[in-house]
Amino acid sequence: MPELPEVETIRQRLRNGTAEHPSILRMTVRSGLLMWNRTLVEPDQDAFENEIAGQTITEIGRRGKYLIFQMDRSSLLIHLRMSGDIIVESDSEPTGPYHRVVLEFENRTRMAFTDPRKFGRAWFVPDPERIFAKLGPEPLDSEFTEEHFFHSLTTRKRLMKPLLLDQSVIAGLGNIYVDEALFLARIHPLQLSNRVDEDFSRRLYDAIRCVLQEGLYRNGASIDWVYRGGDFQNYFKVYRRTGEPCSICGTPIQRIIVSQRSTHLCPNCQRI
């Protein structure tokens, strides 16, 4: 489901609390439960449930699309993939059918990693950086510079869309924000990355940061039945707008398949 803005919104709500539930910062785990075995990559179920009991959440962070629940001695990492979400509820509620990992806290609330499609993954490890080893830079951090990005494009010979979806190049972009960024930069998703000049690269660099910032400002995008709570979907220029007129030139938005993914573009504004 979620990309960087959605994951970041979830992180902030867990950390700061909402009208519906308090912050889960500094909550102590009474018991950890694994409801679907494949969701937890490591360690095994017994080690997880034994080790997490009694640990307190000391910080909630994010790296790319990963949520980081920093605890006393280890960190719980969660990647929501396509349909994952995090909910906080009273532990008197019946356990929902999509709960995959549950942390019951001492104050009778619980946090659940819910995931209908079971693509999501979790890790409970002492050294989270090992899991993040292959991730590229955070696109909104200062270490992600125009020069770095230009270098990332020109030292590879790749189609723009798969390059931007590649988490080892930039961490956090997914199908929505890639399509929106390419439209904003007026770049065709099948453009070859090594055939670009600095002007072109800067346009895309700015577009990536712009759409991510707007996504964050709108608290992410809510589509279908999954993630709720953001309204960036109302501001999409191309994503899932096949056939609708381009907001710049009126040409119908086109849908093609690139990297097995739906790809939306204005064939007039975005040319190779």
| Residues marked as catalytic | 2-3, 65, 261
Provide Rg for the chain, Cα atoms: 20
Rounded least distance, CB 259 to DNA, Å: 5
Give the three-class secondary structure for 128. Answer: helix
Give 166 or 198: the residue with its C-beta nearer to DNA.
166
Pairing of strands 59-63, 66-70: antiparallel
Separation between Cα atoms, residue 11 and residue 240, nearest integer Å: 26
Rounded least distance, CB 230 to DNA, Å: 7
Rounded least distance, CB 209 to DNA, Å: 17
Contact residues for DNA, defined by CB under 7 A? 1-3, 6, 38, 64-65, 79, 81-83, 97, 116-119, 155-159, 162-163, 165, 167, 174-176, 220-227, 230, 240, 258-262
Q: How far is CA 93 from CA 32, 89, 96, 101, 256, in A?
A: 16, 7, 8, 15, 44
Give 46 or 225: the residue with its C-beta nearer to DNA.
225
Give the three-class secondary structure for 162. Answer: helix
Rounded least distance, CB 13 to DNA, Å: 14
Please work out, in degrees rounded to the nearest 5, the angle formed at the alpha carbon of residue 200 by the alpha carbons of 256 and 191: 30
Give 29 or 34: the residue with its C-beta nearer to DNA.
34
Give 79 or 110: the residue with its C-beta nearer to DNA.
79
What are the structure tokens assigned to 231, written together? Answer: 């309204």
